Structure 1
Amino acid sequence: MTPQYDVAVIGGGIVGLAHALMASRRGLKVILFERSPIAQGASVRNFGMIWPIGQPAGELYEVAMKSRDYWLMLRKEGVLEVEECGSIHLAHHQDELDLLTEFCEQGTHECEMLSPREVLERSPLANPTGLLGGMFSPTELRVNPRVASAQIVDWLVKTQGVEACFETQIISIDENTIQSAGGKRWKADQIVVCSGSDLQTLYSEILENSGLKLCKLQMLKSVAQPEIKSGTPHLASGLTLRHYSSFESCPSLEKLKRRIAEESPELDTFGIHVMTSTFPSGETILGDSHEYGDAITPFDKSEIDELMLRELRKVFQLKDWTIQERWHGIYAKHPTLPVFEAKAEDGVQIFVGPGGAGMTMSFGLADRAWNNWTGVEKQNA
């Protein structure tokens, strides 16, 4: 007899976990499928940043803050460690300081300007050479991406009644019947496809015409830095101001973009904007770059790593720049939507492509989706 569920979620990354959580909170019988022994995609290959400050004012910032509430709920439940570290955008150029000041004055996000001295008091990793100031936001969080997904799955299974099937590749869905590569079948009233960067196995025609593009990023991790305190803020350079949509509301952004394009066009070629997240161990994740579509290959570029390190050294200071790990991640991103949603057939929803904001947005986006699908809003606590 084919097992029957209320909801089946295909994909065990952070997007799929968010949907499994929202469904289980509504008292539904949920099964989760993941083709790997544990999530191995973008959900584990990132900074561990929960980054509301990068979302534009209005609905998307509110969605990011809703996600933040869910991360803090998971901490309260004892699921995983979550640091309320905040973030600092550093200004080493006058146009960066002007833009950050302009952004703060808009009053759309919780943030404040800091003097160079105040920046250095909050983070020993900011390079004081040429530092003009910075912008602090208290809303950002830090989780360990290497273990967060596994800890959430374990909690969903043990306390929320979710059934998890890992090492299970789903190859077809037909009339609410799911089939694995091994020939097993399951039925579910509602199926949510959260297939990450895999745009070909399920509903390839829909995903091919969705506008989604793949993005590859290269990242680095340093050896442990001495004298790092828990809660050290995330740091972002002025290069990030041209990457996050929250700053598009600032008229001075175009001037900053022109200056960077004229001084360092190679940074735009590889989509480089440098950031750092330092864990209580002192290990520091550094990055990153962005290559899209046909530019993506299986092979990492030493040129990108060298450019990132060049820019990182300008704005951050590490006592030991020894790099102990290098890796890349690939995620799907839509050019205009925060996530791609589509009804594939009756009872089947596709939910793919939160871009580089999966850790920041997935819980909030899934919460919004389930509110729309069921007409019932669930509170976090």
Structure 2
Amino acid sequence: MRMIIVGGGVLGTMHAWQAVRRGHEVVHLEREAEARGASVRNFGLVWVSGRAAGPELSTALRARELWERIGAEVPGVGFRGNGSLTVCRTPQEVAVAQAAAAAPDAAARGFTLLGRDEARALNPALRGEFEAALWCERDGAVESRVALPALRAALAATGAYQWLPGREVRALTDSGVRDDHGTVHTGDQVVLTTGAALSGLVRELVPDLPVRRVWLQMAQTAPLGEPLTTSVADADSFRYYPAFRGPELNALTVAQPQPPVAAEHAMQLLMVQRLDGGLTIGDTHAYAEPFPFDQVEEPYEHLIEVASALLGRPLPAIRRRWHGVYAQCLDPAAVAHRQQVTGNAVLVTGPGGRGMTCSPAIAEQTAEELSW
């Protein structure tokens, strides 16, 4: 078949990857000169550890397998299976980690509860004071700023892929799509992966789309000067990932409220080292639109304080700050929202903060459901 993929983010690119791998031709349209949304404004984490039991965890585990395969085939995506440590500094936090490490699916996630010395042996950069850490062997990372160009180059080398940036799709036609240059692109199947761009054509096609947008702030530092051998989270991440729900987490939230800034901005610390040695740190969450056009400084101050405490040294200077918006499906049982909008067009959106993690498997599921 001839496939038309609309949206150049990681979800669209993975649908193109699946289509080409299954023997189809792909025309890939993107409204910007380069993807600039959540796909490049994230940690690059392939985050298995916190996923909800059931379809979400299964999707994340399958995506982790696919990322490893893709990384071996396309080294430019920067995949590494570095795992993660969620660092616990209080007995209440340790209790949540203990419960997770004892859960029936702990082995599938690669969970092991480590003492402080064991965690430091795994990641010597963690010189701060803490009691224990939850090790997740299955977590990984990619380089989000360079992964998409690397994947497109590999697809283009097959001769079955055409990348057309600077083309905003305005309408679906009987045979494909029409862009804002007036060009009609014909094909057998259209896949709309427009990310957080939920107005315009998407709103016309699905006025009551069960997807919301989420706004966040992140930053990147100067090089750390030493390896951060694993990705790192603080125990506030327990509050935001469904895998950790239970009586231990309930007790933590009562006995140990978040600091006011962290609570106001729905914060956790996630920290991953880039290939250049810098650290990506974040993040905040805001759910009520309209979102601010400016960034506030207090969340960054909180992130710097927590990260410095875990490292036992001052965090390197922040060199880049940014905000981003992603689309999140409102159905808690769905990993993404997939909907047929016309006879030959399907909309796939709303993976939320799971986009980078789960996109290879989401695209595979689309291909299998549509019998590509």
TM-score by length of 2: 0.93
Q: Compare 64-73 and 192-201 and name the one that shifted more.
A: 64-73
Alignment partner, residue 324 of structure 1: 319
Is 1:273 aligned to 2:268, yes or no?
Answer: yes
Instruction: Give the aligned partner of residue 48 of structure 1.
Output: 44
2:296 aligned residue: 301
Match of 1:350 among 347, 351, 355: 347
- Per mean C-alpha deviation after superposition, the further-off stretch among 176-185 and 56-65 is 56-65
1:379 corresponds to which residue?
none
Counterparts in 2 of 1:265 and 1:176: CA distance versus 1, 3 Å:
farther
Q: CA offsets per residue over residues 215-247 of structure 1, 9 Å max, x none?
A: 111111111111226xx1000000000111221
Q: Report whether the alignment pairs 1:252 with 2:248.
A: yes
**Rounded Cα–Cα distance in structure 1 between residues aligned with 2:91 and 2:208:** 43
Contact 1:225 1:318 in 2 (8 A): no
Aligned residue for 1:240?
Answer: 237
1:92 to 2:82 alignment: no
1:319 Cα shift? 4.7
Corresponding residue of 1:211: 210
| AA aligned opposite 2:364 | D
Q: 92-101 vs 155-164, which deviates more?
A: 155-164
Deviations 1:293-343 (A, max 9, x none): 325122111222223323333434445431111111111112323211111
Q: Is the 8 A contact 2:47 2:357 kept in 1?
A: yes
**Number of residue pairs aligned between Structure 1 and Structure 2:** 366
In the alignment, the residues of structure 2 paired with residue 295 and residue 266 of structure 1 have an alpha-carbon distance, to the nearest angstrom, of 20
Please state how far the C-alpha of 1:256 moved relative to its aligned partner: 1.7
Distance 1:206 1:239, change over 3 A: farther
Residue 126 of structure 2 corresponds to 126
Question: In the alignment, does 2:182 pair up with 1:183?
Answer: yes
Letter in 2 for 1:340: H
SS of structure 2 residue aligned to 1:366: helix
Q: Give SS of 1:256's match.
A: helix
Contact 1:66 1:364 in 2 (8 A): yes
The SS at the match of 2:354 is: helix
- Shift in Å at residue 40 of structure 1? 1.1
Q: Deviations along 1:164-196, whole A, 9 cap, x unmatched?
A: 111111111122331111111111211110001
Contact 2:88/2:131, CA 8 A, preserved across alignment? yes
- For 1:291, the equivalent position in structure 2 comes to 286
Judged with a 3 Å threshold, the aligned counterparts in structure 2 of structure 1 residues 282 and 98 are, in CA distance, closer, same or farther, namely same
Aligned AA (1:253) = L
Say if 1:234 and 1:277, in contact at 8 Å, map to a contact too: yes
Instruction: Kindly indicate whether residue 23 of structure 2 is the aligned counterpart of residue 27 of structure 1.
Output: yes
What's the CA shift for 1:79? 4.0
For structure 1, which segment, 99-108 or 266-275, has the greater mean C-alpha deviation from structure 2 after superposition?
266-275
CA–CA distance in structure 1, aligned partners of residues 235 and 85 of structure 2 = 10
Alpha-carbon distance in structure 2 between the residues aligned to 1:216 and 1:50: 20
Among residues 281, 290, 306, which one is paired with 1:311 in the alignment? 306
- Superposed, which structure 2 residues align to 1:142-153 within 5 Å? 142-153=141-152
1: CA distance, partners of 2:82 / 2:132? 18
1:150-169 superposed matches below 5 A? 150-159=149-158, 161-169=160-168
Partner amino acid, structure 1, of 2:104: G
Q: Is the 8 A contact 1:199 1:208 kept in 2?
A: no
> CA deviation digits over 1:188-220, x for unaligned, max 9?
211110001100122304554122111111111
Q: Secondary structure at the match of 1:124?
A: coil
Given that 2:31 and 2:166 are in contact with CA atoms closer than 8 Å, whether structure 1 keeps it comes out as yes
1:364 matched to 2:368? The reply is no
Structure 1 residue 273, shift from structure 2 partner: 0.5
Secondary structure, in 3 states, of the residue corresponding to 1:252? Answer: helix
Q: Distance in 2 between matches of 1:322 and 1:116?
A: 27
SS at match of 2:187: strand
Contact 1:172–1:178 (CA under 8 A) maintained in structure 2: yes
Offset at residue 52 of structure 1 (A): 1.1
- Gap runs ≥5 in structure 2: none
Indicate conservation of the 8 Å contact 2:339/2:346, yes or no.
Answer: yes
Aligned residue number for residue 63 of structure 1: 59
3-state DSSP of counterpart to 2:236: helix
Question: What corresponds to 1:13 in structure 2?
Answer: 9
**1-structure distance, mates of 2:21, 2:152:** 14
In structure 1, distance between residues paired with 2:317 and 2:369: 48
* Contact 2:308-2:314 within 8 A present in 1 as well: no
